[in-house]
Amino acid sequence: MLTKKSRIKDVYANPIGRDIINRMLLQMNINRKAVTNPIVGNLKIMVLPKLLKNQLDEGFVDTLLTLLNTEDETVRSTDEIIPREWWKEAVFYQIYPRSFKDSNGDGIGDLQGIISKLDYIKELGIDAIWLSPIYDSPNDDNGYDIRDYHKIMSDFGTMEDFDKLLTEIHNRGMRLIMDLVVNHTSDEHKWYQQAIHEPDSKYGDYYIFKPQPNNWTSFFSGSAWNYVEERNQYALHLFSKKQMDLNWENEALRHEIHDMVKWWLEKGVDGFRLDVINYISKRKGLPDGNKSIGKLMGYYGVEHYFYGPSLHDYLHELKEKVFMPYNAFSVGETPGAGMEMSKLLTADYRKELDMVFSFDHLETPGHTRYDDYQYDLNYLKSCMVNWMENYGNHCQPSLFYENHDNPRMISKINANQKYRYVLGKLLAVIQLTLRGTPFIYQGQELGMINQCFKTISEIRDVESLNLYDELCNTMKEEEAFSKILTGSRDHARTPMQWSGEQYAGFSTVKPWIMMDEDYKSCNAKLQLQDENSILRFFQKLIALRKEYKVIYYGNVIVSNKKVKDLFTYYRKDENEALYIEINLSTTNKKRTKHPKGRLLLSNYTEDILSSKDRLSFLRPYEANIWAIYP
Ligand code: TEU
Ligand code: CA
């Protein structure tokens, strides 16, 4: 049991403590050594607020202690052989159905549209598809607000279309995982309607009600509580005002969810991506959030649910009762979970989740998504090295940069068109040659970039729109708009660029969301005809990954760890060895070693050995994969 008198090194030895301190340092942009050096390590916890630039109040220490004392287990490290699993060898592809392909000319992507593009996905080399939500929904948050778990959204088609999609995916030897959104439902879901109209029925306790709100804030701006007239109470919504948080403490509710998940597994789906699954357990009594944590993280109350007291129990129950009998795969979306928490959620012998998405690598220290800054690839390198070296053989890393909630990665790093494709290929090399399961987001394989939204009327995303309104209280409209533009999730939601035809071959009519002119030069059709395109590069790289199996389970040995702008590593097992060398900068970078072996793939197309200089330098953003002798 940790107390105020415990030492800082004890906090750091505690899995949650380590993640929290690391997270705070990240947010404050303070070097880890500020707390890990032995002198500081021996100080008592009480001095932490002072140490961390006086940004923390007294209550912080108590809050921290409560959190720390809920977890004392750590995942044992091991040299045991990594157990083989299909999902450790698979390359996943995420589809955001609304923006993928419209088959019936209403400007909205749909299931038949996806079916028509399955051959494209197969040719890319994809093994499994993750489909963002396709369930019936009033679309306050584009399907992440579910009204009926057993019905297909009418914009997307029918249950027959879904059955056909699943069959066609399986026919091509691919798998399908669905998005499972069970932290909340739409306020139009019948459970919620019953809960407010018949509070005494069993549904009365399915959601989280309180006589008075606490200070928690919503991720989509403002208070996390709606006043509910029917009950003269407040109801919790961590996301939009129409996404009501479910009460997982209620056993009947948990069973309903289990049954619903089984229903989909009976249909033959292969697994799930679980939306904000680490938020499902909230601290008893729903206490106010600590103010300094709230200020630092931008949201009040997070410490009471991002790693809640019953989280492990709920996940374990779900795995044993529902996923295991069907051999179903699960990847949890876990915003705020650091490496130690991720280990505890995914270590194979603990039987909770197979994998998680952690987000620490998406913004460099001191920045959030809505800050306008240039992402430093050296930070990506440090994150990747850390995960490769410390995540352990019981856990499988996920490898991704993009999804439907984040701007395009190329745009974050360098908006100069000149580097666009070479950079996109560099990112692909890292993603597909490290140990872990890659998730490619639609359009990433084309090198899609952020789009030029011109006015707020073109923005569709509820998060951006709410934030815009909030910002307009304190700044000029233009300023607010430019802030929105930096981080808006809509950048990832513009239509997939299939061809240079009008509306990019996505639809025959004006799409539900704007697109600029980029599709005229950047589209799948053109790229398929160009041997050197980024799309072709992805195909080759995925094929290479399947040929050199050392990439799945082999060791990762990083060299030049301390050399800035250079990312080099070996992948080795007893049969094969690869050497990957990457220049993270826009200037020539001196090689520390010239690899002996065969060049398998490079993001530069000219022959690498043609000139003498080429032997000693890597060109801007150059990334090469070599087969060397094991
Ligand atoms: O996202 C959860 C999440 O925490 C963020 O990534 C989210 O985009 C938000 O910006 C936090 O500030 C998941 C889904 O991926 C997202 O699309 C949904 O809107 C959200 O949950 C609610 O279901
Ligand atoms: Ca359509």
What integer pLDDT is reported at residue 35 of this predicted model? 81
- Is 73 one of the catalytic residues? no
pLDDT for position 29 = 85
Ligand 1 nearest-atom number relative to CA 181: 23
Can you give the pLDDT at residue 618? 94
DSSP 254-269: HHHHHHHHHHHHHHT-
- Provide the whole-model pTM: 0.96
Residues 95 and 209: their CA atoms lie apart, in Å, by 35
pLDDT score recorded for residue 45: 87
How much distance in Å is there from the Cα of 237 to the middle of ligand 1? Answer: 13
Strand pairing partners for 555? 572
What's the average pLDDT block by block, 10 residues per block, for the chain (630 residues)? Answer: 89 86 85 85 85 75 87 80 96 98 98 98 98 98 98 98 98 98 98 98 98 98 98 98 98 98 98 98 96 90 95 98 98 95 96 97 93 96 97 97 98 97 98 98 98 97 97 97 96 98 98 98 98 98 98 97 97 96 97 88 77 77 93
C-alpha 545/C-alpha 89 separation (Å) is 9
- Residue 275 is among the residues annotated as catalytic for this protein: yes
- What domains are defined for the chain? 8-68 (no CATH), 89-184+251-535 (3.20.20.80), 190-236 (3.90.400.10), 551-628 (2.60.40.1180)
Angle value at C-alpha 450, between 444 and 453, nearest 5 degrees:
145
Sign for the pseudo-dihedral over CA of 83, 85, 88, 89: positive
Q: What CA–CA distances, in Å, run from 285 to 118, 277, 305, 429, 471?
A: 48, 20, 12, 48, 32
For ligand 1, is residue 461 a contact (CB within 6 Å)?
no
Burial class (CB in 10 A: 0-12, 13-18, 19+), 50: exposed
* Nearest-ligand number for the alpha carbon of 97: 2
Q: Could you tell me which residues come within 8 angstroms of residue 547 by beta carbon, excluding any fewer than 6 positions away? A: none
Catalytic residue among 71, 102, 275, 463: 275
Ligand 1, atom 6, residue with closest C-alpha: 405
Measure the CA dihedral 535/87/255/275, to 10°.
-40
How many angstroms is it from 405 CA to the middle of ligand 1? 6
Ligand 1, atom nearest to 219 Cα: 12
* Cβ of residue 239 lying under 6 Å from some atom of ligand 1: yes
Q: Residue 218: what pLDDT?
A: 98
Ligand 1 neighbour 405 (Cβ under 6 A): yes
Query: pLDDT digit string (tens) for 273-330?
Result: 999 999 999 999 999 999 988 988 899 999 999 999 999 999 999 999 999 999 999 9
State the catalytic residue, choosing from 187, 333, 354, 565.
333
